[in-house]
Amino acid sequence: MLSLLLILLFPLPSSTDCGPVYTQFHGYSFLNPEIARLKSPYAPFTLGFAKVFEFYPGHKTVQEQQNINEWWERYCEVPNKADIDYVVYASSIRDLNELRSTIEGELLPWSSLGPPLSSNSFARYLYRYKCTEAIDYLIFAKKCEPHATTRRSWETDQKDLNEMENLIEQGQVLFKRTKSEYFRLRYVYQIVRLAHYMKNYRQTVALYEYLMPKVDNDPSLIEYWVLGHYAGALLEIGQPVRAAYLFSQIFDKCPSKRYSAFHSFSIKTDQEWQECLLMCKDNHERAVLHVLRAESQNAKLVEEMRNIYRYEPTNENLELLLLREIKKLEKDLLGLDFNNRRRQNERLYNIPRPEAGEKVIELQKFIREIEGQGLVARPEIWKLAEGYLELLAGNYYFAAQSFNEVKDLTENDTLLNQLEALELALQISDWAKAESEVEDQAADIQRTSEVYRQYPDFPDFMRDKLTKLYRQSGDAGKAFLAQYSIKDLKINSGERMVDNLLDICRNESANRFERSLVMKPDGSTIEEDLLNLKTNHFLSRGEIEKALETYKRIPLENWDNFGLFYPYLEHFKDTINYSLPTAVQVFNKGEILQDMVRMEYMAEAEQDRDKAAEIYYRLGLAFYNMTYFGYSWKMLDLYRSGASMQRLRRGSGNYVVAHPQYPLGNKEFFDCSVARLYFERARITAINREITAKALYMAAKCEQNAYFVDTPAGTAPLRENFALLKENYSDTEIYQQIRSKCKYFEAYISK
């Protein structure tokens, strides 16, 4: 049940242009629901889940089950409960009339009664003992049922009200005629319920006060069902205090109506509260009132707990309220100094609450006041709570002492499991430095701790703690992989992170936890992935030789693992999806880097200026096609998004754009400056006008991309290369090709 309610409380993540935003609260919880006695009928209310409890259908099921149980008990626990369920809830008036006629001998014997009643143990019991009053009541109840439900205003008409009034009169006749006190009580329920649903509240009160004194029945849950309608009518006619008192009694004693009583209880003023307290017959009833008041929006919870304790120290709601408040404080304070979404929690949820620290102190004071008196039902729960509050307050030494004392107070497996979880949370919280001893502890926890695996928040809790410690010690790579995966690093990697992690991969004396950070499922490390990323860093800056030397550290037989490419195709019109012609031979990154290094040496040594210009142009194509705008973008990037240009903050110099799947955003390779440098070399070197024209156009594309990426919106583009192309090369063949394929150039020359 608790897991269902928690799911309802947490929405799905979303994103904005400012970065990935997870709209759900991000925190940790290590409270075991089992210690809260969730089987307690009060748990859904006292634990503070009242607002979402309506999504949980249990209250209706409880009502039906309790009703069936009472029928079963009244009939000597003989009939099958499923058969009682069928007769009470599923049978028709026609079925019941046939059963009654069979009992009176008006039809053929029992054997002639058709299924399913002929095989129903409850129907057979009624037949055997000639329980005609039970059948008469069930027939009447089924006539009332269509009218005794909450109806929308436009569905209520005069005909319905007349029929309901007729049924009330019939019910009173049957009430007087019936000998069984039990069925007389049930008739009162149907009659009063009809009057209530007619919204004739004064009639409801009058019928209750007239009929109930005439019933001399053994205790029954039906008394509380009737009482609920009476209390609701009193509330409507202006007797809120009397109604509140009755609702508190129903809440306390009738599980099947606890839900409606809980939501109907209302005390609005101090005077009403005092009057309601005066109606209570004993301290238990007073304690119940304080339990209900603890659920109000502005409740002073510890004060209410003090009052409940004063009236009834063993009241089971005390423990539930204690755990409810600790759960709130846990949300406020647990892992606060290393929660990686603390600012978001503050902005969206106002968590931690400003008064959280004061509430911890107040609750600790209350616990210490009562723990030596020996009056509470389970002292071990209170000592455990005291230790957890000390942990939340950062008093780790005293938390450890309190947890040690709990071990002497209980042998309960559930509580000992809870204690083990809180001790593990204490151990992780107490880590001060990212040193080998701490990493060894982390590795042992991951490998051997059962409680670590039982509580789903522990991996995140330990990950966030270690991330903070790594950042403090300057271990950027460890901080990243403690929090994220190698895939996230491929989406947005920093050179410092990559170097830090390469050092770990190569360190033969790395500890177990360090090795776990860089280990793949197959037992290998991420070293080759990191070398590929480091290669990309050099290549994106045009440092071809450094890129090649780095890539050579990857074994030659694994070069193909990072993709096959051909970045040299001339492609004047950029398209989102472009497939290489099938005749094109592709190469791995190492082979392409070797070719690019060779070409650069050739260009510098070439005596023919046009041949040198063609080589520079070819290198420019390679660098352009590796950027976000080219078809070989996968050489430098793992993921490209068409929405990145919309998300980009133009002119910021930051090429990391928000993406909901990637926590640190998606780094795009927008920078065409290296490609433009080679195109400029080709233009300056070339004698042939066709080569110069196409180099100018490709440089213009780089210039235009830089405008869309690096220039604030509203700034006019320079178009220097477009101008040179228009003014000096309009007579070339390349010029005509470009004009037919590039709408930007066509728009420029048409001005």
Render pLDDT for 492-538 as a digit per residue (tens, 0 to 9): 888 988 999 999 999 988 988 989 889 988 989 999 999 999 999 99
Q: Collect all residues with Cβ–Cβ distance below 8 Å to 89 and sequence separation of at least 6.
A: 64
Two tokens at 306? 């003090």
- Average the pLDDT over 394-411 and give the result: 96
Task: Quote the distance between the C-alpha of residue 608 and its chain's center.
Answer: 66
Q: Which of 635, 558, 628 is nearest to 595 (CA)?
A: 635
Q: Is the pLDDT of residue 274 over 90?
A: yes
Segment 159-207, tens digit of pLDDT: 589 999 999 999 999 999 999 999 999 999 999 999 999 999 999 999 9
Alpha helices, DSSP H only, in 573-658?
589-605, 609-625, 644-647
Which stretch of 51-55, 414-418, 431-435 has the lowest confidence by average pLDDT?
Answer: 51-55
Residue 369 vs residue 3, higher pLDDT: 369
pLDDT at res. 40 = 63
- Decide if 495 contacts 455 (C-beta within 8 A): no
Reported as a pLDDT band with limits 50, 70 and 90, residue 582 is confident
Residue type, 336: L
Kindly report the CA angle at 647 between 642 and 651, in degrees rounded to 5?
A: 115
- Average the pLDDT over 94-98 and give the result: 92
Q: List the domain boundaries for the chain.
A: 414-557, 567-749
pLDDT at res. 16 = 39
pLDDT at res. 565 = 96
Q: SS in 3 state form for 133-196?
A: HHHHHHHHHHHHHHHCCCCCHHHCCHHHHHHHHHHHHHHHHHHHHCCCHHHHHHHHHHHHHHHH
pLDDT at res. 50 = 39
Q: Collect all residues with Cβ–Cβ distance below 8 Å to 452 and sequence separation of at least 6.
A: 424, 445, 446, 458, 459, 462
d(CA 422, CA 416): 10
Q: Is the pLDDT of residue 253 over 50?
A: yes
- Decide if 243 contacts 235 (C-beta within 8 A): yes
Give, in order, the Cα–Cα distances in Å from 219 to each of 97, 175, 213, 224, 496: 29, 18, 14, 10, 76
Q: Is the pLDDT of residue 427 over 50?
A: yes
- Average the pLDDT over 540-566 and give the result: 97
d(CA 501, CA 478): 7
Reported as a pLDDT band with limits 50, 70 and 90, residue 750 is confident
d(CA 137, CA 187): 7
Q: Residue 114 gets which letter from DSSP?
A: P
Q: What are phi and psi of 432, to 5 degrees?
A: -110, -30
- Average the pLDDT over 233-244 and give the result: 97
* DSSP string for 181-243: HHHHHHHHHHHHHHHHHTT-HHHHHHHHHHHGGG------HHHHHHHHHHHHHHHHTT-HHHH
- Average the pLDDT over 214-221 and give the result: 91
d(CA 730, CA 700): 15
Residue 654 vs residue 69, higher pLDDT: 69
Segment 439-479, tens digit of pLDDT: 999 999 999 999 999 999 999 999 999 999 999 999 988 89
- Average the pLDDT over 399-407 and give the result: 96
pLDDT at res. 57 = 43
Q: Is the pLDDT of residue 74 over 70?
A: yes
Q: Which of 314, 310, 290, 312 is nearest to 301 (CA)?
A: 290
Biggest alpha carbon–alpha carbon distance for the chain: 123
The residue count of the chain comes to 751
Mean pLDDT across the chain, nearest whole number? 89
- Decide if 26 contacts 345 (C-beta within 8 A): yes
Taking each helix axis as running N to C, give the angle between helix 283-293 and helix 240-253, from 0 to 180 degrees, rounded to the nearest 10.
100
Q: Is the pLDDT of residue 695 over 70?
A: yes
Taking each helix axis as running N to C, give the angle between helix 609-625 and helix 589-605, from 0 to 180 degrees, rounded to the nearest 10.
150
Q: Is the pLDDT of residue 12 over 60?
A: no
Segment 525-546, tens digit of pLDDT: 999 999 999 999 999 999 999 9
Q: Residue 706 gets which letter from DSSP?
A: H
d(CA 721, CA 682): 13
- Decide if 636 contacts 536 (C-beta within 8 A): yes
Q: Strand, coil or helix: what is 22?
A: coil
- Average the pLDDT over 121-126 and give the result: 93
The residue behind tokens 């008064």 is: 355
Q: Collect all residues with Cβ–Cβ distance below 8 Å to 434 and sequence separation of at least 6.
A: 466, 469, 470, 472, 473, 475, 478
Q: Is the pLDDT of residue 749 over 90?
A: no
- Decide if 57 contacts 5 (C-beta within 8 A): no
pLDDT at res. 81 = 94
CB atoms under 10 Å from CB of 337, counted, come to 11
Which stretch of 2-16, 301-315, 369-383, 532-546 has the lowest confidence by average pLDDT?
Answer: 2-16
- Average the pLDDT over 120-139 and give the result: 94
Which stretch of 224-233, 335-344, 554-563 has the lowest confidence by average pLDDT?
Answer: 335-344
Q: Is the pLDDT of residue 28 over 50?
A: yes
- Decide if 690 contacts 734 (C-beta within 8 A): yes
Start-to-end CA span in the chain (Å): 70
pLDDT at res. 228 = 96
Long-range residue pairs from 58-61, CB within 8 A, at least 24 positions apart, any chain: 58/1, 59/256, 59/258, 59/259, 59/260
- Decide if 388 contacts 399 (C-beta within 8 A): yes
d(CA 382, CA 54): 30
